[in-house]
Amino acid sequence: MSSKNKLESFTNTAEEFVSPEYIRNRFSKIMSDMYKNEVPLYGELLDLVHDINDNVLSESREIEEQLAHTGELTRLNMERHGAIRLGKPYELFTMRRLFKVMGMYSVGYYDLAPAGVPVHSTAFRAIESTALNQAPFRVFTSLLRLDLIDDVELRNNVETILEKRQIFTEKVLQLIDKSEKEGGLNKEDAETFVQEALETFRWHDTATVDYEMYEALLNQHRLIADVVAFKGPHINHLTPRTLDIDEVQISMETRNIPPKDNIEGPPARKCPILLRQTSFKALTEKVTFKNNAEKEEIGEHKARFGEIEQRGAALTQKGLDLYHELLGKTRKAIGGSPTAENASEYNKLLAENFKVFPDNYEELHSKELAYFHYFTTDKAKTLSKEKVYTKADVNQLLEDGYLSIEPMVYEDFLPVSAAGIFASNLGTDDAKREYEGTSNQSLFEKDLGEPVYKLTKWYEDMQDESIQNCLAVINA
C-alpha cells in the first residue's frame, strides 16, 4: 500500500470514530434516565430545577447574558455531576481508563478524612472549556482508605470481600482496550460501551455480604458499608445545576420532596462563589442479605439521595484561603458542622462573617480573589496598531473599556460541603469523627495510574488562554 493510501485508510477509520463528547453526553443521558427510573423523586427534582431556572432567566437579562457570554447557557439544563465510591486500587485505575474513553480526566485531589469520611477522592471531567460546555458531566470519585479502618480483623475481611468482586463487565473492558489501541470508538461500539459501562453504576438490592457483616461495616462507618457490601459502586446521586438554590430549598417541600436542613457552602450573595449545595434526604431502601444457612434476610440501607447545586465564580488560591478562613471561623463559633437545631444561627453568622468577602466582580478581579474570562469589546477595534499589547497591559485595557470580564464558573467540588451533605442525609454522627493520619496524594495517584490535574493550575491556564486570545485579536 502506498503512503497516500495508508494515510487515506487511517483518515477514513478515524472519521468513523464518534467524539468523546458524544459518548459522554450519551452516557450522562442514559444514566440520568436510569436514575430517574430507580429514584422517581429525582425526576420531580429535575422538573423543579428546570422551572426555577426558567424563572430566573426570564426575570434577569443580566444573568442570561452572562451565561450566554461564557457558553454556559446552552449547557445549563443538561449539566450533571454524579458521585461514586470505589473499594480498591484496581477499581480506581480501571475507572480512570473508562472515563478517558469519554474524554474525562482526573482533576483535583480531595482528602475527606479530616471531615470524618474515610476516603480520598478526585473528580473526573473534561478539561477544555469547549468540551465542558458541550457535555458538562462530572463524576466525583472516591477510593476507600483501608488504612483508616481501625479494626484489624474487619480491615482484613474488607480486603478479602473487595478482592473477590469485579465491578466491570468483560465487554466494557474489551472496549476500553479497543479505544486505547485504536484511538477511539465507532458509533456502534460507543453505544455498546455506554450500555455496558452503565452496569457498573446500577443499583443492586441484594448485598454481597450477610447481615452480620453488614452491621459490622455499618458500625465502623456508613460509607464503608455502602462501598463494601454491594456488587458495585451504584451512583448515589446525580446533581442538576440551579440558578437559585435558595428557591429550590424553599420549593422542595411544596412538591413533597424532603429537603436537608441547611444549604452547604458559602452564604447567598449577589455574586455567587464556588459551590452551594442542598439535597433531598437519602432513601431507605430494602436490601436482601444472605446468611450462612443460605437463607435470605431483608434489611434496609441508606445511600442514594437527590442533590442540587448552584455554581459560582472559581476562586484563586488567595480567594480560597479567605473562604476557608471565614467558613472555619463560623463553624468554630457554633462548635462544628451546622445541625437542624442551629441552622438559623449558623446562617446568620455565616452571612455576617462573609461581609468582608467582596461581593462585586470588579473588586473580586482587582483583589485577585477569583478567575475570569476576558473578552474584547467593540471599542478594541479603535486601538492603535502601532503598539504590541502584552499581559502587562491587560488591566489598563480593561479599565479603559477595551476588554470586559465575566466570572469563570467553578467546575469542581468542596470536600467539607460533600461531607456535610453525607452526614445530614444519612442521619449519622460519622462526620463528627476525626481520623488520625495525613493526606496521601502520592498513594492515590499511584493507584490512579497518573497524576491528578492541579485545580488552581487548570483555572490559571484557562484564564491565561482567554487573555492570550484577546491579545491576539487586538494585535492582529
Give every residue of the chain whose pLDDT is below 50, as ranges: 1-14, 430-431
Residue 329: strand, helix, or coil: helix
With respect to residue 4, please indicate whether it lies within any of the assigned structural domains.
Answer: no
> Is the domain of 345 the same as that of 246?
no
Same domain, 356 and 302: no
What pLDDT score was predicted for residue 336?
77
Largest Cα span, the chain: 87
| Ramachandran bin of 192, using left for φ above 0, alpha for ψ from -120 to 50, beta for the remaining angles | alpha
pLDDT of residue 422: 58
Residue 36 lies in a domain: yes
Contact 210, 291 (CB under 8 A): yes
pLDDT of residue 353: 95
263 in Cβ contact with 274 (< 8 Å)? no
Residue at 285 is within a domain: yes
Structure confidence at residue 111 (pLDDT): 87
Could you tell me if residue 416 is inside a domain?
yes
Residue 298 and residue 190 share a domain: yes
Q: CB neighbours (10 Å) of residue 138?
A: 23
One domain, residues 260 and 319: no
**What is the pLDDT, as a whole number, of residue 113?**
82
Cβ neighbours of 407 (radius 10 Å):
20
Domain span including residue 232? 20-314+411-454
Whether residue 209 sits in one domain with residue 102: yes
Tell me if the pTM is above 0.95: no
Is the same domain home to 159 and 195? yes
Residue with cell 459551590: 275
Among 361, 392, 419, the domain boundary falls at 361
* pLDDT score, position 8: 34
CA 414 to centroid of chain Cα atoms: 9
CATH number at residue 300: 3.10.180.80
Residue-level pLDDT at 7: 33
pLDDT of residue 241: 93
341 Cβ contact list (under 8 Å, min separation 6) = none
Q: Is residue 467 part of a domain?
A: no
Helix residue ranges per DSSP H, 16-128? 20-38, 40-59, 61-70, 89-101
Residue 295 lies inside a defined structural domain of this protein: yes
Q: Is residue 395 part of a domain?
A: no
Same domain, 214 and 192: yes
| Residues near 226 by beta carbon (within 8 Å), at least 6 away in sequence | 85, 236, 301, 303
In a domain, 366, yes or no: no
Q: Same structural domain for residues 256 and 330?
A: no
Cα four-point dihedral sign 72, 76, 78, 80? positive
- What's the confidence (pLDDT) of residue 471? 94
Residue 417: per-residue pLDDT = 63
Q: Are residues 298 and 339 in the same domain?
A: no
How high is the pLDDT of residue 459? Answer: 94
pLDDT at 15: 54
Question: Which residues are within 8 A (CB) of 66 and not within 5 positions of it... i.e. 6 or more apart?
Answer: 406, 407
Q: Hey, what's the cell of 51?
A: 422551572
329-367, pLDDT tens digit by residue? 998 888 877 777 888 898 899 999 999 999 999 999 999
Tally of structural domains, the chain: 2
- Return the bridge partners of 125, or none: 105
Same domain, 319 and 187: no
Same domain, 88 and 119: yes
Please check whether residues 81 and 118 belong to one and the same domain.
yes
Q: Which residues contact 442 (CB under 8 A, 6 or more apart)?
A: none
